[in-house]
Amino acid sequence: MTLSPRFTLTLTIVAILFLATIIHILVVLSIPLNVRHSAYDNVATHGPDRQFNLLPDVHPGEEALPDLDPAMKHAACRFQLSDGPVLFDASIPTSFWSIGLFNSAGEAIYSLNNRTAGAERLSMLVLTSPQLSILRENPPENLEDLIVIETGEISGFALLRAYTPDEARADVVDRALQNASCGTIG
């Protein structure tokens, strides 16, 4: 069987588009697997895991992490739940603060701000389901006061954002962020 030139051309174009679509999809899907610096890796460059590391102020040309708000001060903490539950504790004297929990792929797992936290003080416990069952057998006294987040993600990071209205407030907020804890329970 011999194909007419026009049919051959049509078939070629269809084949090109079909293959191009497959390649397009493969490329888009493979980008997240091949990034050199994920947000999770970047957070580690600012200090050790399992403690809140104050990120430098957001200034042009020296942004600690991409896409941060220059009106805020930030502190980040990276954790692995395989080392045990993480207890977040902070008291930040500012009119707005928020904390976001992200998994190692940079997807938001949980977030809250100082209004939804229901208290001036942030006290949040992040753990896996087995860890929660163990904890329930012998609950610590203050478990009632904690915000308990059960997650299936083993590794992740938290980003604490605190609004700094003016320079006068900056030191206080800085100190509060440095004193924020991202440690173990008990």
Partner 1 sequence: MTDTASGTNGTRYGEADWYEQELPRAIRPHRSHPIRTLVLLSIILVSAALIGISSAYLMIEREQPLNAVTIGSWRAYPKAGTSEADPYSVAIYTRGAVIPLASGEGLAMVAREDDRGHLLDPTCIYRISGQTPAARLWTLTVTDGNGRLVETLPGRVHLDSQNLLRETDGTFVINAASRPHSGNWLPLAASANASDGLRFVLRLYDAPVTTGAALDGVSLPVIERQGCP
Query: Taking the complex as a whole, how short is the minimal distance between the CB of residue 118 and partner 1, in angstroms?
Result: 13
CB of 72 to partner 1, least distance (A): 8
Tell the smallest beta-carbon distance from residue 164 to partner 1 (Å).
10
8 A C-beta contact, residue 117 and residue 70: no
Question: Looking at beta carbons only, is 17 or 134 nearer to partner 1?
Answer: 17
For partner 1, the closer CB: 36 or 136: 36
Q: Are the C-beta atoms of 149 and 101 separated by less than 8 Å?
A: yes
- Between 21 and 178, CB nearer to partner 1: 21
3-state secondary structure the chain: CCCCHHHHHHHHHHHHHHHHHHHHHHHHHHCHHHCCCCHHHHHHCCCCCCCCEECCCCCCCCCCCCCCCCCEEEEEEEEEHHHCCEEEEEECCCCCEEEEEEECCCCEEEEEECCCCCCCEEEEEEECHHHHHHHHHCCCHHHHHCEEEECCCCEEEEEEEEECCCHHHHHHHHHHHHHCEEECCC
Minimum distance, C-beta of residue 134 to partner 1, in the bound complex (Å)? 26
Residue pointed to by tokens 């070629």? 12
Q: Which is nearer to partner 1, 80 or 111 (CB)?
A: 111
Decide whether 3 or 134 has the Cβ nearer to partner 1.
Answer: 3
Minimum gap (Å) between residue 112 Cβ and partner 1: 5
Nearer to partner 1, 72 or 176 (CB): 72
Contact (Cβ atoms closer than 8 angstroms) between residue 76 and residue 160: yes
Q: Which residues bind partner 1 (CB under 8 A)?
A: 1-4, 8, 12, 15-24, 26-29, 31-32, 35, 37-39, 41-42, 58-61, 63, 65-72, 95-96, 98-102, 105-108, 110-113, 115-116, 159, 161, 163, 165-166
As measured in angstroms, the least distance from the Cβ of 171 to partner 1 is 18
